[in-house]
Amino acid sequence: MTKLASPRGAVRERVLQAALELFAEHGVSGTSLQMIADRVGVAKASVYYQFHTKEDIVLTLISPVFDDIARLVKIAEAVGSAEARRDVAISGLVELAVRNRNLTTVFFGDPAIDPLVRSHDEFSCAIDGFDTLLLGPDADDAKRVAMSVITAGIYGTAINPHLADLSDDVLHRLLLETAQRLVVALTKE
């Protein structure tokens, strides 16, 4: 009896899931396509059939997040004041960090990610647009540091293993309340 091949989409999803698990264990640089193939239980050629490079896998995993950031930038740009745009950006960032907890855990702080993201114009533009929303038009060094603390805190809180017991709804609410208080406290002129 002939074994039916898995549909391409099913194998593709298994490759992405295995890659995500391995990136979490070994980092992007420490994960090879062969490791991914071994985890899925397929030949390396099967992984190549789905993705030409490991970078293609990473980009596939993070593209939806950057699509969301680009949409968030468009929405926030339609808001009146710089403070209101920043509030929309903070709220959106909390939403993204919580909704993508597993992905954030894997990629936040991975040194291979920033150069890869920055090498793609659409991702780089999304980041630059988002930074502009957070910082406003005339950001001094103190404001830049304050926003860095807030954004790193949002990501760090979303991936904190000591908070894994919190539901997404509870984490989202508490993180947003805290981030909003920090923005007010750290951005006073």
Give per-residue pLDDT as tens, 26-67: 999 999 999 999 999 999 999 999 999 999 999 999 999 999
**Number of domains within the chain:** 2
Domain housing 29: 8-52
- In this structure, the answer to whether residues 168 and 109 fall within a common structural domain is yes
Classify residue 1: in a domain, yes or no: no
pLDDT at 56: 94
Whether residue 6 is predicted with pLDDT greater than 60 in this model: the reply is no
Instruction: Assess whether 63 and 48 both reside in one domain.
Output: no
Cα separation, 108 vs 159, whole angstroms: 9
pLDDT on residue 8 = 58
Cβ(176)–Cβ(166) below 8 Å: no
Amino acid letter, residue 143: K
Same domain, yes or no: 29 and 118: no
Q: Are residues 99 and 167 in the same domain?
A: yes
- Structure confidence at residue 36 (pLDDT): 96
pLDDT digits (tens, 9 = 90+) for 108-153: 888 999 899 889 999 999 998 998 888 877 888 988 898 899 999 9
Q: 2 in a domain, yes or no?
A: no
Q: Are residues 100 and 174 in the same domain?
A: yes
Residue 101 and residue 120 in one domain: yes
- 62-103, pLDDT tens digit by residue? 999 999 999 999 999 898 888 888 899 999 999 999 999 888
Give domain status of residue 115, yes or no: yes
Q: pTM of the predicted model, to two decimals?
A: 0.81
- Looking at the fold, whether 124 and 86 belong to one and the same domain comes out as yes
C-alpha span between 127 and 69 (Å, rounded): 8
